[in-house]
């Protein structure tokens, strides 16, 4: 092993260079419009890779040990690893449909036939782009996540491997939630899955998505994107629980757009990964649109979990409310950089953002940086951030009442997360997160 040269710009990783891209395209049977979009994105990927990343977003995310050339999209025909492993959500509720991806390829896709009759589409993106161009082309990487944002969005747009699509037509309500699993099994596998949800006017749906690793030591890469397009008066509840093992690098561009009177309830769980960086945008595009964003993060060991969030109020009478809660142990680090942006037209806007960090060790570190950019003059925008250690007196008090130190810690952490758990609209997610938190707390600490 020899040391590595550090540079602010990177050449294309050998597993994602020109030759790799051509081989990738050749192995996929895709319509011309998809190939053209990929080629354009690849050019942007090349340009962006030669430019430094935006320091405002990336300076706290240490990429010096990240080796993209260690990961590759699996070649077609490679043997699938056994995909029988437990996940947080898969068996926890009755779902109206399930889609699963393993190492970037769809392994299962099913939906209640009743929904199909109502015109709902739910399945693998790689399949649906071939059959439903009219539905997907106007929305795929055009309105929400843009390839030209940075090298990771362009990388994803050039090499996306598949992903989950949900399209709900006008006035259709899905009573039961849907489930999507993104999994990594083989060491060195890259997953570039894309989640695209399109809700037309007055549609309603809930999608629970989770990421998981088959083993604890398979190193993997996820360069993903999530696009949530909520139509006029529609209501989307979307949950993504990131629960990779601690060897995975996770980069994601996630963007929601909400039209007039639409509602988006978005919950993000950050539990796994070695390094995760999520660029999360919420755009409120129509009068009366609202978004609630919840974040639950628990970092341990040397995990680095970073969020770069933006709530954009682009129309009057819009409301956004972001609450992130982070617990850190050991030498972990959590970074949250949040921004509320209010355009001139967005009068009577109500924007709120808050991030609270609880540090369970002196070597853990939380950076919370809230921000406001307000062009309108008749708005209410508030933000706050806190970071603090577990109060020894609280632990002492609990132990005086007969609790063990572990029980006391658990109670304090559970209490810390309670406010955000209370806001999560799906009970099974609340319970699952609560159990996951308990597991991450470990015993004997």
Task: Report the first-to-last Cα separation within the chain, whole angstroms.
Answer: 35
Find the shortest distance in angstroms from Cβ 60 to other proteins: 6
187 touches 219 (CB < 8 A): yes
For residue 59, the minimal CB distance to other proteins (Å) is 6
CB of 413: closest distance to other proteins in angstroms?
24
Distance CA 237, CA 264 (A): 6
> Which residue lies nearer to other proteins by CB, 168 or 364?
364
Find out whether 258 and 264 touch, Cβ atoms under 8 Å: yes
Choose between 38 and 60: whose C-beta lies nearer to other proteins: 60
Draw the binding track, 173-212, toward other proteins (x: CB under 8 A; -: no contact): ----------------------------------------
User: Tokens 């999520």 map to which residue?
Assistant: 278
Pairwise CA distance, residues 318 & 351, whole Å? 8
Residue 113 lies near other proteins (rule: CB under 8 A): no
Return the range that interacts with other proteins (CB under 8 A); candidates 1-9, 163-171, 278-286, 435-443: 1-9
At 183, which helix (H) or strand (E)?
Answer: strand 178-184
329: left (phi > 0), else alpha (psi -120 to 50), else beta?
beta
- The single residue among 367, 407, 414, 431 that binds other proteins, judged by CB under 8 A, is 367
Query: Cβ(228)–Cβ(257) under 8 Å?
Result: yes
Residues whose CB is less than 8 angstroms from the CB of residue 332 and which lie 6 or more positions away in sequence, other chains included? 299, 300, 301, 302, 303, 304, 305, 364, 365
Beta carbons within 10 angstroms of residue 130's beta carbon: 12
| Single residue of 194, 341, 354, 365 touching other proteins by CB under 8 A | 365
| Number of residues lying near other proteins (CB under 8 A) | 15
Residue 65 CB, shortest distance to other proteins, in Å, is: 6
- Nearer residue to other proteins within complex by CB, 234 or 359: 359
For other proteins, give the closer residue by CB, 67 or 380. Answer: 67
Letters for 323-342 (x = contact with other proteins by CB under 8 A, - = none) are: ----------x---------
Q: Pick from 174, 215, 233, 184: which is nearest to 72 by CA?
A: 184
Chain mean position to CA 378: 32
Q: Which of 4, 77, 94, 393 binds other proteins (CB under 8 A)?
A: 4
Q: Least distance in Å: CB of 249 to other proteins? A: 12
Binders in 39-98 for other proteins, by CB under 8 A: 59-60, 62, 64-65
Name the residue nearer to other proteins (CB basis): 57 or 414. Answer: 57
Closest approach of other proteins to the CB of residue 345, in Å: 38
Least distance (Å) from other proteins to the CB of residue 1?
5
Report the nearest approach of other proteins to the CB of residue 389 (Å). Answer: 15
Distance CA 341, CA 314 (A): 8
Cβ atoms of 300 and 330 closer than 8 Å? yes
Residue 146 to residues 26, 142, 228, 235, 282, Cα–Cα distance (Å) = 24, 6, 13, 23, 14
2-10, 127-135, 151-159, 254-262 -> range binding other proteins (CB under 8 A):
2-10
The residue (of 67 and 130) whose beta carbon lies closer to other proteins is 67
Three-state SS at 36: helix
Among 302, 380, 389, 419, binds other proteins (CB under 8 A): 302
Least distance from other proteins to the Cβ atom of residue 302, Å:
8
If phi > 0 it is left, if psi is from -120 to 50 it is alpha, else beta; for residue 163 that is: left
Residue closer to other proteins (CB basis): 61 or 111:
61
| Cβ-contact 163, 193 below 8 angstroms | yes
Q: Are 41 and 283 in contact (CB under 8 A)?
A: no
Smallest distance, other proteins to C-beta of residue 29, A: 39
By CB under 8 A, name the binding residues for other proteins.
Answer: 1-6, 59-60, 62, 64-65, 302, 333, 365, 367
């Amino acid at each position: 092993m020899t040391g590595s040269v550090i540079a602010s710009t990177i050449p294309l990783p050998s597993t994602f260079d020109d030759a790799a891209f051509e081989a990738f395209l050749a192995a996929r049977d895709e319509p011309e419009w998809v190939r053209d979009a990929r080629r354009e994105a690849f050019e942007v990927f090349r340009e962006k890779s030669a430019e430094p990343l935006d320091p405002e977003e990336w300076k706290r995310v240490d990429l010096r040990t990240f080796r993209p050339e260690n990961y590759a999209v699996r070649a077609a025909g490679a043997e699938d690893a056994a995909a029988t492993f437990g996940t947080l959500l898969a068996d926890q509720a009755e779902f109206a449909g399930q889609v699963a991806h393993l190492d970037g390829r769809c392994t299962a896709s099913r939906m209640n036939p009743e929904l199909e009759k109502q015109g709902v589409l739910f399945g693998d993106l790689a399949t649906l782009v071939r059959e439903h161009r009219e539905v997907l082309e106007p929305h795929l990487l055009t309105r929400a996540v843009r390839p030209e944002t940075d090298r990771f969005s362009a990388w994803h747009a050039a090499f996306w491997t598949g992903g989950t699509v949900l399209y709900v037509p006008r006035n259709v309500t899905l009573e039961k939630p849907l489930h999507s699993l993104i999994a990594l099994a083989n060491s060195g596998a890259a997953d570039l899955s894309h989640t695209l949800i399109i809700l037309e006017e007055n549609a309603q749906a809930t999608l629970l998505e989770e990421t998981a690793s088959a083993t604890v030591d398979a190193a993997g890469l996820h360069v993903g994107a999530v696009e949530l397009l909520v139509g006029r008066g529609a209501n989307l509840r979307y949950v993504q629980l990131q629960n990779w093992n601690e060897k995975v690098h996770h980069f994601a561009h996630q963007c929601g757009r909400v039209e007039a009177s639409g509602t988006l309830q978005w919950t993000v769980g950050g539990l796994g990964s070695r390094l995760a960086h999520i660029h999360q945008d919420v755009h409120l595009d129509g009068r009366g649109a609202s978004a609630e964003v919840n974040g639950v993060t628990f970092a341990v060991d040397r995990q680095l979990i970073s969020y770069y969030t933006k709530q954009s109020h682009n129309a009057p009478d819009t409301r956004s409310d972001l609450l992130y809660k982070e617990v850190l142990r050991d030498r972990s680090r959590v970074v949250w950089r949040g921004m509320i942006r209010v355009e001139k037209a967005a009068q009577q806007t109500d924007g709120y953002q808050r991030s609270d960090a609880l540090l369970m060790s002196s070597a853990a570190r939380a950076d919370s940086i809230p921000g406001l950019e307000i062009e309108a003059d008749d708005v209410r925008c508030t933000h706050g951030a806190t970071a603090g250690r577990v109060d020894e007196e609280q632990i002492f008090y609990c132990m005086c009442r007969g609790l063990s130190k572990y029980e006391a810690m658990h109670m304090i952490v559970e209490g810390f997360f309670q406010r955000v758990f209370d806001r999560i609209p799906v009970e099974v997610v609340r319970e699952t997160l609560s159990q996951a938190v308990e597991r991450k707390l470990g015993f004997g600490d």
